[in-house]
Amino acid sequence: MSKSFKFLIVFAVITSAVVVGIVWFGRSGKVPADGVQASLTEPSALAPEETNGSASLSERARQQASQKLSYEGLIETSGTATNLISGWEDKVDEILGSASPEADKAKQLLEIFPTLPAVGQEEVVRHLTNLLPDQDYGLMRSFLTNASMPVNVLDVLLGDVLNRPNSLKLPVLLEMARNPQHSKAAEAKDFLQLFLEQDYGSDWDKWQAGMEQWLKANPD
């Protein structure tokens, strides 16, 4: 084999290797490091619809969070209000100062009673004891038999019922006395014993029978 022939073979091998390397490099799709960094940092690298979609999702999330906070705030505000009216003193003065009949004033006070604070309820029952006639006492009876009523309110109501007719007074006292959860149960029982001149202990059926018999002998 001549030297010139060997030279041609070596040249062909080297040329083929170079060509293969160029082709492989072109197909690999590699780009310079600078190009990689640019593709990650440029905003245009993201598809337009993908960018807009992310922004819309973020905006919706903020709106939903804002609506939730507003709703929870409303619930909290409503919960702490507990339906108490503001400026109740003016409302009471307005009712008492009107030209309405006393019976109507009493009914208006009864309507706002559940929305008053404890101090307001105490003041209103003092007016009610003077305004409510005996025939309408049933409208206020449930206040006295309500064990959850403030003690100061119960004191006023108990003093009032003791000045009512026997047919109103004794049944209310018995209902209070037989309720162990009522703060005035013991006092009510003492008053019953004073009127009936009997002590039936915890036998409420005997208390009921004794009261009915006493009322027949002591009509209003």
Q: What pLDDT, on the 0 to 100 scale, is given for residue 47?
A: 43
Are 93 and 139 in the same domain? yes
Domain membership of residue 153 as a residue range: 87-164
What is the C-alpha separation between 154 and 129, in angstroms, rounded?
Answer: 12
Q: What pLDDT, on the 0 to 100 scale, is given for residue 59?
A: 53
Could you tell me if 184 and 173 are in contact, meaning their C-beta atoms sit under 8 angstroms apart?
no
User: Using one digit for the tens of pLDDT, what is the confidence trace for 43-81?
Assistant: 444 444 444 444 444 554 444 444 333 333 332 322 233
Q: What pLDDT, on the 0 to 100 scale, is given for residue 45?
A: 42
Could you tell me if 175 and 145 are in contact, meaning their C-beta atoms sit under 8 angstroms apart?
yes
Asked whether residue 101 is domain-assigned, the answer is yes
User: Using one digit for the tens of pLDDT, what is the confidence trace for 163-213?
Assistant: 999 999 999 999 999 999 999 999 999 999 999 999 999 999 999 999 999
> Which of 142, 164, 186 lies at the terminal end of a domain, its last residue?
164
pTM summary value: 0.60
**Total domain count, the chain:** 2
The distance between the two most distant Cα atoms of the chain, rounded to a whole number of Å, is 155
